Amino acid sequence: MGYSNYFRDTILINKNKNKGKKTQQRTGLIMLIIVIGIYIFSAILNLTATYNALLNSFQVLKVITPILLVVIFLMALLNSLINQKKISKHLGHNSGVKGWFIALVSGVLSHGPGYVWYPMLSELRSHGARDGLIVAFFYARAIKLPWLPMMISYFGLAFTSILTLYILLAALVQGIITDKLLAEKG
């Protein structure tokens, strides 16, 4: 009886997952068609600028591809080495100070555009990582370590240090607020 319930639940979960994936892909395709439409419309109005936009997009794709490959590798590594229980323990509701520390440090150290990290974070979330930590990770990404020397040269050491400290604090506060606001989502 227990086993039949388990298999029925598993089939249901997989059905829902597949449905979710199909919806995600359909929404993505609609969005892609809209963007292609904008490019066609823009090309009619200004061919040179549209060509430049296309070149810029290819440049972005070139930059994010290696980061995306790293993210895919990390996702596979996380899923094969760390089980759901461990993710819940380190990033779940009872993760405490350690969870905040992991979110803030990994946010500061992560490279590339934020959207490259979306797949991995949504995977962690589905395995039990809580929303507050994901929000804290995203905001801590506002500290761009490789660009700090340039920021200092433009705005000074005092400004950069104060801003960096406030960003970390804001990431933590936003994470706490998110946990409170989205706590009842179940």
The helix-helix angle for 157-181 and 131-140 (nearest 10°) equals: 160
Q: Is 29 in the site for other proteins (CB under 8 A)?
A: yes
Total of residues contacting other proteins (CB under 8 A): 77
Q: Is 43 in the site for other proteins (CB under 8 A)?
A: no
Cβ closest to other proteins, residue 5 vs residue 97: 5
CB of 90 to other proteins, least distance (A): 16
Q: Is 137 in the site for other proteins (CB under 8 A)?
A: no
**Sign of the C-alpha dihedral computed for residues 168, 172, 177 and 183 taken in this order:** positive
How many other CB atoms sit within 10 Å of the CB of residue 83?
A: 13
Q: Is 157 in the site for other proteins (CB under 8 A)?
A: no
H/E/C letters for each residue in 134-185?
HHHHHHHCCCCHHHHHHHHHHHCHHHHHHHHHHHHHHHHHHHHHHHHHCHHH
Q: Is 115 in the site for other proteins (CB under 8 A)?
A: yes
Single residue of 14, 94, 109, 118 touching other proteins by CB under 8 A: 118
CB of 98 to other proteins, least distance (A): 22
Q: Is 77 in the site for other proteins (CB under 8 A)?
A: yes
User: 12 burial class (0-12, 13-18, 19+ CB within 10 angstroms)?
Assistant: exposed
Single residue of 19, 27, 40, 98 touching other proteins by CB under 8 A: 27
